[in-house]
Amino acid sequence: MKNNSPFQLALFGHPVAHSQSPAIHQSYASQFNLYINYHLVDVQNHELEHHIKNFFNNNGKGANITVPHKFAAAQYLDTLSEAAQQSGSVNTIVKKQDQLVGYNTDGIGLVTDLHHRIQFDITGKTLLIFGAGGAVAGIMPAILEHKPDCIYVCNRTLSKAKALSDKYDHTQALTPHTLNTIIKPCDLIINATTLGHHGKAPEIPKTLVNNTTIAYDLSYGTITKPFGKSAYNSGIQHIHDGIGMLYYQAAYAFKLWFGKSPQIDLPSLNNQ
Ligand code: NAP
């Protein structure tokens, strides 16, 4: 039996029109016969606090936060989970009694996808991450929990990469101009930039690649094409997009809202 009035869920971001989250959460909800309404709210930075508070004051059950508001949202909440506090970045909000609590499920979503779908074990490995925005802040604690040997964070704006390397051990900040200081191939190369939205991708030097190197784009869909091409041109044979991470982070958010773990049926094993 479905509830009479749907549970209200929302995604706050800019842009949000392309989001697959409504369909994913609908598929999770239907596994438990839950009736949900998942709204897409395209919102600018200065209106974010008002929209979040208004949503929860009007019977909102739970929310997701996406680009570019993951840092900003953390400031407007009453409490943060350990992962959200450590990263300063929030992708999921739950209302508990009268408190708005912020969580970050991106990191655990990525790590679950790496372990389950890609069968990549982070422990002892060398990682190169392009980007140092909200998504990278969110995934760093979960990645570091699995004790990689080293994480290189390469970002156009060095200060943002440095903010991460100052905060975490085993982490080194770079820009694309200093990538040549890495002297051995990387095991996992992650694209966490928004360059794909503009038809571009970071360039991967061939010296950073061997025949087991994996490329992983946090993005999914057609915007991953430039990174897929860049990875292929550098000699990488194993190239994945972030669709699995999307499904897993959504499943962890769903569990925070409803206390239930949905089964995950990935649309395809996307090895480009
Ligand atoms: P963000 O906070 O806006 O950060 C964007 C990053 O891209 C920054 O590091 C920025 O560098 C870099 N960048 C943007 N334009 C650039 C350019 N022209 N040249 C070089 N670097 C550029 O975004 P985010 O929240 O981190 O998200 C990043 C991507 O991950 C998005 O595509 C998002 O959809 C995806 N994501 C996917 C999932 C999933 O579940 N699969 C989850 C989270 C995020 P600067 O610092 O120099 O500006």
Determine the atom of ligand 1 nearest the C-alpha atom of 196. 32
Question: Is pLDDT at 272 greater than 90 in this prediction?
Answer: no
| Band of pLDDT at residue 10, cut at 50, 70 and 90 | very high
Q: What is the pLDDT of residues 76-115, one digit of tens each?
A: 999 999 999 999 999 999 999 999 999 999 999 999 999 9
- Residue of 89, 165, 193, 247 best suited for mutating to test ligand 1, as the one with most atoms within 8 Å of CB: 193
Question: What is the DSSP track for 127-195?
Answer: EEEE--SHHHHHHHHHHHHT--SEEEEE-SSHHHHHHHHHHSTTEEEE-GGGGGG--S--SEEEE-SSG
According to DSSP, the β-strands at 150-154 and 171-174 are parallel
Alpha helices in the chain (DSSP H): 21-31, 48-57, 70-75, 82-87, 106-116, 134-145, 158-167, 225-233, 243-258
User: DSSP label at 236?
Assistant: -
Query: Ligand 1 center to residue 6 CA distance, Å?
Result: 33
- 96 catalytically annotated: no
The minimum-distance atom of ligand 1 relative to the CA of 71 is 2
The Cα-based distances of 76 to 50, 96, 252 in angstroms read: 9, 15, 22
Q: 115 CB less than 6 Å from ligand 1?
A: no
How would you class 199 by CB atoms within 10 Å of its CB: exposed for 0-12, middle for 13-18, buried for 19 or more? Answer: exposed
What are 165-181's pLDDT values in tens digits? 999 999 999 999 999 99
Buried b (16+ CB within 10 A) or exposed e, 152-183: bbbbeebebbbbbbeeeeebbbbeeeebeebe
3-state secondary structure of 85: helix
pLDDT of res. 101: 98
Instruction: Say how far apart CA 142 and CA 85 lie, in whole Å.
Output: 13
Ligand 1 centroid distance, CA of 130 (Å): 9
Q: Give 1's pLDDT tier (boundaries 50, 70, 90).
A: very low
Single out the catalytic residue among 70, 95, 96, 229: 70
Contact between 103 and 93 (Cβ < 8 Å) = yes
pLDDT in tens, 194-228: 999 999 999 999 999 999 999 999 999 999 999 99
